[in-house]
Chains A and B, each alone.
Chain A
Amino acid sequence: MTTTDVNQELKTQEYLINMGPQHPAAHGVLRLILTIDGEIIRKVDPDLGYIHRSIEKMCERDTYKQIVHLTDRLDYLSSHINNEAVCLAVENALEIEVPERVKYIRTIMAELTRLASHQLWWGVMGMDIGALTAFMYAFRDREMINDIMEETVGARLTMNYSVPGGVMFDIHPDFQRKVKEFIKHFRKALPEYNTLLSENIIFKKRLKGIGYISKEDAVAYGVSGPSARGSGVSCDVRKIHPYSAYDKVEFNEVLIEGGDSYDRYMVRMKEMEESMNIIDQLIDNIPEGDYQVKTSALIKLPKGEFYQKVETARGELGVFIVSDGKKSPYRLKFRSPGFSNLSILDKISRGHKIADLVAIMSSLDFVIPDIDR
């Protein structure tokens, strides 16, 4: 080497690094094959299949009532909403009108689930950025929701509360009091969340301008849920195609135009407030009546294709049933929000650093079993 080489531009070599399948930031078994130049990401190649349980195939084997149980395992953080999606699809196909009471209970439960899911996401987001205390704050409050669920439903996470035709049991006598207590507590706790993370200058610097999704990209890649609403895409299924009791409540669809990770973060923070508003409007007005419509033990759907979409904590979950008139579906397809949201990861994280990739991943709020069914 002579001294004249100094003027030559320094060449760097890109290298591959496996992020996952076991990696603390993936919160599951997601494998990302990263092409890295120093610390800068050139390419992200998600490799799926590590937690594939062929749930869609299993649905073709099971009866409609059994299918509901499988949906808990899709996006385990919005398990009730998943249950509800299948139940609504089956009810629509059979043209069952469920009692008002059921609609109210389902909506309250769905919003509680959304709150619990967003709380966990918030804690994990803090942990990914490096603020470990946030995780414990989130778990303190999430525990209260889990207790409410346990009392009424019997399970804390995989709830299995909805059945085609209604809900499995009536609500616990303490349910309304406990939910109100929780809402009262959480209205005080949410500002704490904001002081701990949202207002923190380091946290803001880590998220602002990172992982920008334009409005067009969000639509093109099929990004849905809070991740899309952070880019200003109006896509709240609760608002556009109201189901259950969402047409009876007033709530705002949170829309922020920015499109970066911090905007997606703020959408979820504001959604928690909206969820509390929805619960507030419903909790005192649960009408009297049956909690279930009797359905036959072996439901048979008429021949045809049925589609139902709901808004889970992560975005739009679609259930597409093709029935040939037998006791189990001919084909059942879940349109899971996580899979579509993951597809944009490569585009938005190129040129950022490894630390940013972790931030982007948590701002998109992945639950791996939802991506990999």
Chain B
Amino acid sequence: MYDFSKMTGAIHEWLSSLMPSLLVTTIEWILIGVVFLALFAILGLVLVIVERKIAGFFQFRLGPNRVGPFGMFQTVADTVKLLLKELVSTNKVDKFLYNVAPFFVIIAPLMIMAVIPYGLGLTAYDINVGLFFVMAVSSIGVVGILLAGWASNNKYSLIGAMRSGAIIISYELSMGLSALLAIVLLVGSLNLNDIVMSQQAGWWIFRGHIPAIIAFVIYIITGTAETNRVPFDLTEAESELGAGYHAEYSGIKFAFFFLSEFVNMFIVAALAVTLFLGGWLPIHIPGWEGFNNIMDYIPSPIWFFLKTSVVIFLLMWFRWTFPRLRIDQILTLEWKYLLPISLVNLVLMAFVVMMGWVF
């Protein structure tokens, strides 16, 4: 496996030989920022077109196929359209909050993207409390949604925003308790790179016994809820609230909300891969040495994005199959079922770890 820290180290040394260290740090910050903004935009564009194509696949239709080969540039065209559109807002909006809300929504996924290990030595900000950081920062997004709903001065938006607050606050509990803490118990570290490296003998979803599988299922459910996608898309709820919290936004401000939903989906999938499916580690089958060696030649980011896209497909599958839940049903599901199950699961996992029953 190629260690990307060699490459980044080389860039760092080359820059250091040219200029003082303060300037080097500044330039590196800017570089990383540009890379992540580009990744954000590309992920948004790609995921939107993929989602539409998959929707077409589920619904006996072709999906977009006019702009570019197989309609691949459809989202690019849409983005250009959104960029050029006039920013319309109603009269009595709370101007400051209204304008600041979209940034909250995109800052959260951008910050989380910094700690995700994309490959061997390919983490922008490798901190020892990575998972904790993710949980903490992901809650910022809901502030943006609440602000958007409140500042829009629209009752539909407000209902959508309030629903979002209720959902995200409650679902974060079982996400953190069950899914993430269970793996932390197994690994003994909050660092995402450590979590990946600990899975070299096998992925946690297989090695962690039944508690890990339960944790994975709960994580996928809560992850879908966190990203406000069907069956938990009450915040937008097209048929009930029109567009929910972003009803009053237009042009690029709307695009921020729209893209952040897709990037959030990527982050949920990326975390699922990192925690349960071995992160950027290649698929290894014990005993098949030749096969394993060939798999090692495939670069680690490719493995990471491949596994992530499988989980993303799963999330999209949910979206195009399930009906939408009602707000009280969603909260019932969380507080009466998922949270107790998570707590019991956590105890089970602790027991498994204590007895050393991990494969």
Count of chain A residues near B, Cβ 8 A: 30
Question: With an 8 A cutoff between CB atoms, is A205 at the interface?
Answer: yes
- Taking CB atoms, residues of chain B closer than 8 Å to A203 are 323
Question: With an 8 A cutoff between CB atoms, is A267 at the interface?
Answer: no
B324 and A129 contact, CB distance less than 8 A: yes
Q: What CA separation (Å) do A354 and B159 show in the bound complex?
A: 10
Q: What CA separation (Å) do A205 and B241 show in the bound complex?
A: 20
Please tell me which stretch of A111-119, A131-139, A173-181 contacts chain B, meaning at least 4 of its Cβ atoms lie within 8 angstroms of it: A131-139
Contact partner of B328 (CB less than 8 A), chosen from A25, A132, A136, A353, is: A353
Contact partner of B322 (CB less than 8 A), chosen from A17, A127, A202, A356, is: A202
CB distance from B163 to the nearest CB of A (A): 8
- Taking CB atoms, residues of chain A closer than 8 Å to B234 are 355
B326 and A356 contact, CB distance less than 8 A: yes
Contact partner of A355 (CB less than 8 A), chosen from B55, B237, B320, is: B237
Contact partner of B237 (CB less than 8 A), chosen from A130, A133, A197, A206, is: A130
B239 and A358 contact, CB distance less than 8 A: yes
Residue of A nearest to B322 (CB): A202
Question: With an 8 A cutoff between CB atoms, is B21 at the interface?
Answer: no
CB distance from B337 to the nearest CB of A (A): 13
B321 and A355 contact, CB distance less than 8 A: no
A17 and B239 contact, CB distance less than 8 A: no
- Taking CB atoms, residues of chain B closer than 8 Å to A126 are 323
A130 and B321 contact, CB distance less than 8 A: no
Q: What CA separation (Å) do A202 and B327 show in the bound complex?
A: 12
A39 and B327 contact, CB distance less than 8 A: yes
Q: What CA separation (Å) do A12 and B58 show in the bound complex?
A: 44
A130 and B59 contact, CB distance less than 8 A: no
A136 and B61 contact, CB distance less than 8 A: yes
Question: With an 8 A cutoff between CB atoms, is A200 at the interface?
Answer: yes
Residue of B nearest to A207 (CB): B323
Question: With an 8 A cutoff between CB atoms, is B340 at the interface?
Answer: no
B327 and A25 contact, CB distance less than 8 A: no
Known contacts A25-B240, A130-B239, A206 near B60 by CB under 8 Å: no
Question: With an 8 A cutoff between CB atoms, is B172 at the interface?
Answer: no
CB distance from A189 to the nearest CB of B (A): 11
Known contacts A23-B242, A136-B61, A205 near B329 by CB under 8 Å: yes
- Interface membership of chain B positions 237-253, coded 1 if the CB is closer than 8 angstroms to chain A and 0 otherwise: 11111100000000000
Known contacts A39-B327, A202-B231, A356-B326, A132 near B237 by CB under 8 Å: no
A206 and B320 contact, CB distance less than 8 A: no
Residue of A nearest to B59 (CB): A136
Known contacts A130-B233, A136-B61, A353-B328, A202 near B239 by CB under 8 Å: no
Q: What CA separation (Å) do A56 and B277 show in the bound complex?
A: 67
- Interface membership of chain A positions 216-241, coded 1 if the CB is closer than 8 angstroms to chain B and 0 otherwise: 00000000000000000000000000
Residue of A nearest to B156 (CB): A17
Q: Which interface class (under 10, 10 to 19, 20 to 34, 35 or more) fits B?
A: 20 to 34
Contact partner of A129 (CB less than 8 A), chosen from B159, B241, B323, B328, is: B323
CB distance from A179 to the nearest CB of B (A): 22
B231 and A355 contact, CB distance less than 8 A: no
Q: What CA separation (Å) do A136 and B234 show in the bound complex?
A: 22
B239 and A25 contact, CB distance less than 8 A: yes
Q: What CA separation (Å) do A176 and B59 show in the bound complex?
A: 29
Contact partner of B325 (CB less than 8 A), chosen from A25, A140, A206, is: A206
Known contacts A131-B321, A203-B323, A356-B326, A17 near B58 by CB under 8 Å: no
Contact partner of B320 (CB less than 8 A), chosen from A23, A132, A197, is: A132
Question: With an 8 A cutoff between CB atoms, is B155 at the interface?
Answer: yes
CB distance from B64 to the nearest CB of A (A): 15
Question: With an 8 A cutoff between CB atoms, is A24 at the interface?
Answer: yes
Question: With an 8 A cutoff between CB atoms, is B230 at the interface?
Answer: yes
Contact partner of A130 (CB less than 8 A), chosen from B159, B230, B328, is: B230
CB distance from A349 to the nearest CB of B (A): 13
Known contacts A15-B155, A358-B239, A358-B240, A130 near B231 by CB under 8 Å: yes
Question: With an 8 A cutoff between CB atoms, is A260 at the interface?
Answer: no
CB distance from B103 to the nearest CB of A (A): 29
A130 and B327 contact, CB distance less than 8 A: no
Q: What CA separation (Å) do A127 and B234 show in the bound complex?
A: 14
Kindly name the residue among A24, A202, A356 whose own CB sees the greatest number of chain B CB atoms within 10 A.
A202
B159 and A128 contact, CB distance less than 8 A: no
B321 and A133 contact, CB distance less than 8 A: yes
- Taking CB atoms, residues of chain A closer than 8 Å to B241 are 354
CB distance from A190 to the nearest CB of B (A): 16
- Taking CB atoms, residues of chain A closer than 8 Å to B59 are 132-133, 135-137
B 289-334 contacts with A by CB, 8 A: 320-329
- Taking CB atoms, residues of chain B closer than 8 Å to A355 are 234, 237, 240, 324, 326-327
CB distance from A363 to the nearest CB of B (A): 13
CB distance from A195 to the nearest CB of B (A): 10
- Taking CB atoms, residues of chain B closer than 8 Å to A127 are 239
- Taking CB atoms, residues of chain A closer than 8 Å to B231 are 130, 202
- Taking CB atoms, residues of chain A closer than 8 Å to B240 are 25, 354-355, 358
Q: What CA separation (Å) do A130 and B239 show in the bound complex?
A: 7
B60 and A140 contact, CB distance less than 8 A: yes
Q: What CA separation (Å) do A132 and B325 show in the bound complex?
A: 14
Contact partner of A200 (CB less than 8 A), chosen from B239, B242, B322, B328, is: B322
- Taking CB atoms, residues of chain B closer than 8 Å to A197 are 323
Q: What CA separation (Å) do A126 and B328 show in the bound complex?
A: 20
Given contacts A196-B321, A353-B327, A355-B237, 4 further A-B contacts (CB under 8 A): A24-B242, A200-B322, A203-B323, A354-B240
Closest CB pairs A-B (n = 10): A130-B324, A136-B59, A129-B323, A131-B323, A128-B239, A130-B323, A355-B326, A25-B239, A203-B323, A202-B323
